[in-house]
Amino acid sequence: MDTEFDVLGFAELHSNLPYRNRQIDTLVALFGEPTQKTVSSIFIYGHTATGKTVLVTALLATLQVPHVVINCVECYTSSLLFEAILDNLSDHKPSAANGYSSVWHCDNLNDFLRLFRSLLEEKAKQGETVYVVLDKAERLQERDALLFAALLRLQELTGCNVCVILISELVWEKFSGAHGYEPLQMHFPDYSRGQLLDILCLECPSGHSKEFYRNYVSLLLSMFHLACRDLNELQYLAQLHFAEYCRPVTSGEANVDDIRKLWKNIEPHLKVALSTLYLRESSSCQVEETAHHLVKPGGATSLNISQTRANIEQPFYSKFLLIGAYLASYNPAKSDRRFFSRGRVGKRKKAIKTKVTSLVSLRLLSRTGADDQLDNVKYRCLVSFDDICSIGRSVRFDIIRYLYDYI
């Protein structure tokens, strides 16, 4: 690799991915030289939007090594996964011109290993390491544990210089222990508030000073940080509301240093956004239009969000689960014995866990306990008061009667 490009490429990588220097340096050390045999598999884990996938793909592109990046959500069957990997290695892209067909039809592991070995012998230059990146790896484990175990040992099964990189939001302990093999593990920790502030400020729009945009992002985080630490969601919110934040400046009502006036203008809009956090029910333009209707003249806010969203579409029993989670989140712990009772769950326990996982993925519940507390997991309900009342009415449950503050 060209030394000048190497230095410039890594400098840009560190600049574009702040607070991930340790992870970059560790991966580079593990990869070694292109022709060196590296570890057979690496398991990378961390919460949503902590830079896992973007760092791995950017690093492999910077190193200019042969690699394949597969999203396990898109490849929902074994044959789709096999064919996607083989197509990428063959530089083949399904399109209208080729009838969206793959180079090979491959529906079993033996054929995949044979074709994979053959391709690597043709494509890999002088025994270069080929990297296979499997994003959302937990989906593959859920569908086919045997295939998951085989991919962990892809280097051993093919005899080729290949490294499989698994990326997941789950810790390794959540995966089945029947694989008989543990990959090298790497954790991507959550960003702190200060780190989120610095990262969001990297997207300062042209025509505005960095100090002005930093003040705006700081105000945004003061409203949302406790409820949301998802970088993707915060970036979306920052882009969505920046024009409204700038409105008093562009209209001449305030200057860029008048933070108090700017905050008074944007605060009601952010309160509306906080009540609809994570819920994608309309486009950005529709969200802005709705927010303007909900903000009364003079800056007062009408937070009757249930007028615009009469109900959250969830199965009947999931609604009761949300109601229970809301009561547990906002009632004091001493009232649990009054409102909840223990009973025999039996076979329903697995169904309940599945529904909880679904609600977490929809951002209606959030996990509050530490990752290492596997036996005592705690969740918090993220649904607003107006929405939980709407859900309660849909199942004929008067939630007011069970809220401690109203008793």
pTM given for the model: 0.68
Least confident of 60-74, 120-134, 245-259: 120-134
**Top-ranked range on mean pLDDT: pick from 164-168, 257-261, 323-327, 360-364:** 164-168
Checking if the pLDDT of 310 tops 70, the result is no
Checking if the pLDDT of 292 tops 90, the result is no
How confident is the model over 38-75, as pLDDT tens digits?
999 999 999 999 999 999 999 999 999 999 999 998 89
Checking if the pLDDT of 311 tops 70, the result is no
Higher pLDDT, 259 or 376: 259
Checking if the pLDDT of 9 tops 90, the result is no
Residues belonging to the chain: 407
Sheet holding 162-168, edge to edge: 67-71, 130-135, 162-168, 41-45, 184-187
pLDDT of residue 228: 87
How confident is the model over 353-374, as pLDDT tens digits?
888 888 888 888 888 765 555 5
Average pLDDT, the chain: 83
Least confident of 17-26, 35-44, 58-67, 270-279: 270-279
